[in-house]
Amino acid sequence: MAATFTSAAFNLTTLVQTDDKISSAISGHYFNNALTVILPGTNSLPETVSECFADQLAYQLHGLPVYRLVEVPFIHAFVKNGLIYMLSANTQLDTHDCVAVTPDGWLILHLTKDTYHELGLEATKQTHQQKNSDTYVVKVNLLASYFKPGKKNYDSTLWCLKNRLDLVFDFHIAWEPKDDKVCSSSVSAYFLDKCAKVERRCLDRRTQVLTSLPCPKVQADDPEGTSGQSCHFQEVFEWIGAVACGVDMTVKDEDTSYTSSLCCPEPSQNCPRCCLFQVSGFITPGTILKVFKALRQYTTAHTDLPPASLTVHGFQDSPIFTNNCPHHLHICGDNLMTFVYLPSNQCWLYRAVAS
Amino acid sequence: MTEKQQSEPAQMTLPTVTNVEIYSSLEREDLHSGKNSMNTSQKKSWLADFTQEHLPANRLRSNEDDMSNKFLSTSTSRRYKKRHSKQKIKVSRSIHAKLNHTQRKLAKDLITSQNQKYSTYIPLRRLWTSYIQDLMSVDMSKVTAPVFMTLAQKMMKADLHGCPLTVRRSKCPGYVGVEGIVIQETRNMFTLICQDDKVRCIPKANSVFTTVLQNVVFTIHGNQFLVRPGERAAKKFKAKSTIDL
């Protein structure tokens, strides 16, 4: 690849993954903004994959006060009996306060200095980046056994959130119930009277068909590309990103092209058709796991095609990255994972975090 | 008196005494052999009591042989640096007890006493409210923005004992939201009694306090207020560059 690789804010791992690691990686990445699927060799997305998005129910709550997330009915009904994903919308991580509720029962408040000084709740120990940017993270364990009314901790937390400041946010919310009989839209019914507006968040889909796309040759046992038969894994990653952005890579000679010097890594094969599918919205890890499995079935059925890839984008303004790891804005807030499907049930996982 | 004393030495065939006036306040027995009949230990104890009563405390330092602050120390550990930077005044225990006994007892009673009740301080609060209204000499309900400056100046010099204060913002989240009546104000601390009869000491530093007087809210930035209440009346407050905590 002709373009240089800025590795300053980039964390990249590529391993041949087992199924458990993959599912834990997916389910640990709670807040997903967008999905990109690149399928060389087809015109359109297979039916099995688009079915996964059918029963996805995500909502946007407008003007919900934060103390509602600490109330006992909410905790009993939604936090304990399923997987709840909530993220504050329209808030920027470096300038505003951000709130998130994770499925393992943590309410995370990522606060600016002024809000923290007025609120009166204790924060966790600051990391170096948090000290530099003067932000404080308050974590409340909603599933703790001591967190109930009558106890000092609960009472003071509720009082602080309710009376000290008017912390009101818009939220993205999605809930996957443990019990299959309960519909996940009950979370919207619960919040109808507690906030200003509840609206259904639909997914924006975009499908594009690319013709005669050069695809890199990938070999599972040779990630570095030393043998000359396959490409280096970093170049493959850049190629995936370039295709997703719609960069024109047909011009081979880098000097003549003005707009971009990106080209397909060698050795490559020409692919007559390729389907590029992008969907954005608030997507739960459960849906992504289904998509992953469906794509895996598809690629094992069609082994002669170049490798397919699935990219999961997280929110730029999410206060946590994965598994309660704090997220900051270094240059930008990108956090994404890419899976490259290789023959014989193998898979590469890339992770890029700009924080 | 002077004649008598002049005659005394003459009678006792002693050399003439100069500066006789300074001896005029002494008793007759002091000059006589009354004191000479004491033995050494009695004399020492008498002298010790005498010096304690009359000499100021800093004259009684006993570590004058300590020459460590005349030489540069080469030890780089922080503990030793700290010790040398503060000159340890080794005053005898009796001095400590005598000087601070009454002060400490009062402070201890105020804070650690079990029977402090919020209800006993409500009259104090009322007294303070009437005092501050007299001080402001302006009808609070009709006050407008231009008058705020003068009110703030008056508040800066006012005595805050009995004032119902609330901690609005603080670097330490444990102090945020504490409200009570001020029962003691020192250079660095406010001692408040809260409604649940708990006495709490809140440091002034890194906190912002508010008090409400009818419909005017006074905000006190603790970082700028680190003065003893008595000295605050005379102090000129300069405008600081930042009111950040």
Q: pLDDT digit string (tens) for A241-260?
A: 888 887 776 666 556 666 66
Task: Please check whether residue A311 is in contact with residue A244, taking contact to mean a CB–CB distance below 8 angstroms.
Answer: yes
* A287 burial type by CB count under 10 A (0-12 exposed, 13-18 middle, 19+ buried): buried
Query: Of A264-268, B48-52, B204-208, which one has max mean pLDDT?
Result: B204-208
CA distances B5 to B21, B176, B188, Å, are 10, 73, 56
CB contact under 8 A, B173 and A116: yes
Candidates B168, B172, B176, B179, partner chain A, best to mutate (most A CBs within 10 A): B176
Q: What is the pLDDT of residue A210?
A: 83
Measure CB to CB from residue A122 to each of B168, B169, B173 and give the nearest one.
B173
Judged by CB atoms closer than 8 Å, whether chains meet at B174 and A121 is answered as no
- Write the pLDDT tens digit of every residue in A113-172: 989 998 888 888 888 878 888 889 899 999 888 888 888 889 989 988 888 888 888 988
Residue B216 has pLDDT above 50, yes or no: yes
Residue A299 confidence (pLDDT): 83
CA A139 – CA A251 distance, rounded (Å): 51
> Which one has a higher pLDDT value, B187 or A217?
B187
**From A134-138, A301-305, B211-215, the region with the lowest mean pLDDT:** A301-305
Distance in angstroms (rounded) separating the CA atoms of residues B116 and B133: 27
Q: What is the mean pLDDT of chain A?
A: 80
* In contact, A109 and A138? CB cutoff 8 Å: yes
Give the whole-number percent of chain A exceeding pLDDT 70: 87
Cross-chain residue pair A123–B176, CB shorter than 8 Å: no
B169, B175, B221, best to mutate vs chain A, most A CBs in 10 Å? B169
Lookup: tokens for A149: 């009314």
Cβ-Cβ contacts under 8 Å for B63 (sequence gap 6 or more): B88, B90
How many angstroms separate the first and last alpha carbons of chain B? 69
- Is the CB of residue B192 less than 8 Å from the CB of residue B180? yes
- Tokens encoding B183: 């029962």
- pLDDT tens for each residue of B81-109: 555 555 556 655 665 566 567 766 766 66
Give the tokens for residue A52: 């996964």
Contact yes or no for A117 and B245 at CB 8 A: yes
- Alpha carbons A236 and A1: distance in angstroms, whole number: 9
Spatial separation of the C-alpha atoms in residues B106 and A348, rounded to whole Å: 74
pLDDT of residue B127: 92
pLDDT value of position B181: 92
Please tell me the predicted confidence (pLDDT) of residue B4.
45
Say what the pLDDT of residue A216 is. Answer: 81
Optimal mutation site among A111, A117, A164, interface B, most CBs of chain B within 10 A: A117
- Phi/psi of residue A51, nearest 5 degrees: -65, -30
Burial of A27 (0-12, 13-18, 19+ CB in 10 A): middle
Q: Cis peptide before A267, with omega less than 30 degrees from 0?
A: yes
Inform me whether the pLDDT recorded for B15 exceeds 70: no
Predicted local distance difference test score (pLDDT) of residue B82 = 55
**For residue A3, is pLDDT > 60?**
no
- Cα separation of A16 and A219, whole Å? 12
HSE-up (13 A, CA, CB side) for residue B28:
6
Q: Side chain identity at B42, as an amino acid letter?
A: Q
Average pLDDT for A293-316: 84
Q: Please give the average per-residue pLDDT across B61-75, as a whole number.
A: 66
Distances (CA, A) of B54 to A293, B47, B60: 94, 11, 11
ipTM of the complex: 0.73
Instruction: Please give the pLDDT value at position B202.
Output: 92
Angle subtended at Cα A30 by Cα A26 and Cα A33, rounded to the nearest 5 degrees:
95
pLDDT of residue B94: 62
Sheet (strand A335-342) strand order: A204-216, A268-283, A32-40, A309-314, A335-342, A346-353
A109 touches chain B (CB under 8 A): no
Residues of A in contact with B169 (CB under 8 A): 114, 117-118
Contacts of A160 in chain B (CB under 8 A): 176-177
Q: What is the SS3 assignment for B8? A: helix
User: Does B167 have pLDDT greater than 90?
Assistant: yes
Nearest CA in chain A to B174: A120
Residue A185 has pLDDT above 90, yes or no: no
Q: How far apart are CA B134 and CA B148, in angstroms?
A: 16
pLDDT bin (cut points 50, 70, 90) of residue B164 is: very high
> What is the predicted pLDDT for the residue at B96?
58
Q: Which tens digit of pLDDT belongs to each residue from A77-100?
A: 888 888 889 999 888 888 888 899
Measured between beta carbons, which residues in chain B are less than 8 angstroms from residue A162?
Answer: none
CA distances for A224 relative to A5, A15, A19, A113, A235, angstroms: 15, 12, 23, 46, 10
If one counts every other C-beta atom within 10 angstroms of the C-beta of residue B94, the result is 11
CA-nearest of B244, B241, B103 to B169 is B244
What does the alpha-carbon distance between residue B238 and residue B156 come to, in Å, rounded to a whole number? Answer: 12
A165 — contact with chain B (CB < 8 Å)?
no
Cβ–Cβ below 8 Å for A117 and B177: no
Measure the CA–CA gap between A75 and A71, rounded to whole angstroms: 7
Q: Give helix B40-54 / helix B93-112 axis angle, nearest 10°.
A: 50
Whether residue B203 is predicted with pLDDT greater than 90 in this model: the reply is: yes
Residue B228 has pLDDT above 50, yes or no: yes
Which of the two residues, A64 and A10, has the higher pLDDT score?
A: A64
CA distance A215 to A244: 13
Is A119's CB within 8 Å of B176's CB? yes
pLDDT at residue B209 is higher than 90: yes
Measured distance CA(B168)–CA(B219) in Å, rounded: 9
CB–CB of B215/B201 below 8 Å? no
- Those residues of chain B whose CB sits closer than 8 Å to some CB in chain A are 168-171, 173-174, 176-177, 245
Q: Residue B178, SS3?
A: coil
Rounded Cα distance between B217 and B155, Å, is 11
pTM: 0.70
Of residues B125 and A221, more confidently modeled: B125
Reported as a pLDDT band with limits 50, 70 and 90, residue A320 is: confident
Instruction: Report, as an integer, the average pLDDT of B54-63.
Output: 67
Per-residue confidence (pLDDT) for residue B79, from 0 to 100: 60
User: CA A193 to CA B213: how far, in whole Å?
Assistant: 37
Residues A258-265, mean pLDDT to the nearest whole number: 71
Percent of chain B with pLDDT over 70: 62
pLDDT reading at A194 higher than 80: yes
| Predicted confidence band of residue A5 (pLDDT cuts 50, 70, 90) | very low
* Contact check, Cβ <8 Å, B176/A122: no
Of A63, A56, A59, A58, which Cα lies nearest the Cα of A193? Answer: A63
State the DSSP code for A151: S
B4 or A68, which is more confident? A68
Contact list in B for residue A116 (CB cut-off 8 A) is 173
**Measured distance CA(A244)–CA(A315) in Å, rounded:** 17
Output the CA torsion sign for A245, A251, A252, A257: negative
Q: How far apart are CA A317 and CA A87, in angstroms?
A: 9
Q: Which residues of A143-182 are buried (b: 16+ CB within 10 A; e: fewer)?
A: eeeebeeeeeebeebeebbbebbebebbbbbbbbbeeeee
Are the Cβ atoms of B176 and A116 closer than 8 angstroms?
no
Distance between CA atoms of A274 and A207, rounded to whole angstroms?
Answer: 11
Side chain identity at residue A126, one-letter code:
Q
Residue A225: predicted pLDDT: 66
Q: Do B176 and A117 touch (CB under 8 A)?
A: yes
- On the question of pLDDT at B52 being above 90, the answer is no
